[in-house]
Amino acid sequence: MSFILAIDPGTTQSGWVIYGDGRVHDSGVMPNREMVTWLATREDSGVRLAIEMIASYGMAVGREVFETCVWIGRFKQAWHSPDTVQLVYRKDVKLHLCGTTKAKDPNVRQALIDLFPAVGGGKTPQIGTKSQPGPLYGVSSHAWPALGVAVTVGERERPAPAIAAASVVVFAPIPEGLPF
């Protein structure tokens, strides 16, 4: 079983999800300083780290964007093998889950919900209720974008389905004397 720890970084706190085998195993939001310590103390147990990365679209950005970039670097460096950390752009998550980079956060959230079985209680059974939890029970706030990163990474790395052997097409030999 392969697990992905995905992070949606923020300026002071970050959402995270542990995802594997097509389900959420744990999720939450924690202060960035705690996240760095948590990442630094995790042992190499086959869990892969994926972090949502900031992209520049030619627009002016503020202090918060640069602070988030610093935290992304700190998270990556704290991981036991920094060179294996996958940085995933938000546009790639949107494209993978919604088929367009123009999708908004509510569209991404709904696309994630639609991927999971409706087995819990309440009006959104994929999330469920405390008495009848669904597979996404407990995912909230900044953990939703982290789940988007995890699902995107997980589904991109699934082996492609085998392609049936193609029929062999045999062409007749070209007659001699043709101009080509």
Question: Using H for helix, E for strand and C for coil, what is the string for 134-161?
Answer: CCCCCCCCCHHHHHHHHHHHHHHCCCCC
Instruction: Indicate the pTM of the whole model.
Output: 0.85
Which structural domains are found in the chain, ordered by start? Answer: 4-157 (3.30.420.10)
**Coil, strand or helix at 87:** strand
Residue-level pLDDT at 161? 60
pLDDT in tens, the chain (180 residues): 589 999 999 999 999 999 999 899 999 999 999 999 999 998 878 899 999 999 877 788 889 999 999 999 999 999 999 999 999 999 999 999 999 999 999 999 999 999 999 999 999 999 999 999 999 999 999 999 999 999 999 998 766 565 554 555 555 555 566 554
Place of tokens 């029929």: 167
Which amino acid makes up residue 113?
A: I
Residue-level pLDDT at 104? 96
Residue-level pLDDT at 23? 92
Residue-level pLDDT at 180? 44
- Encode 79-97: b = buried (16+ Cβ within 10 Å), e = exposed: beeeeebbebebebbbebb
Residue 3: CB atoms within 10 Å: 16
Residue-level pLDDT at 171? 54
Residue-level pLDDT at 54? 92
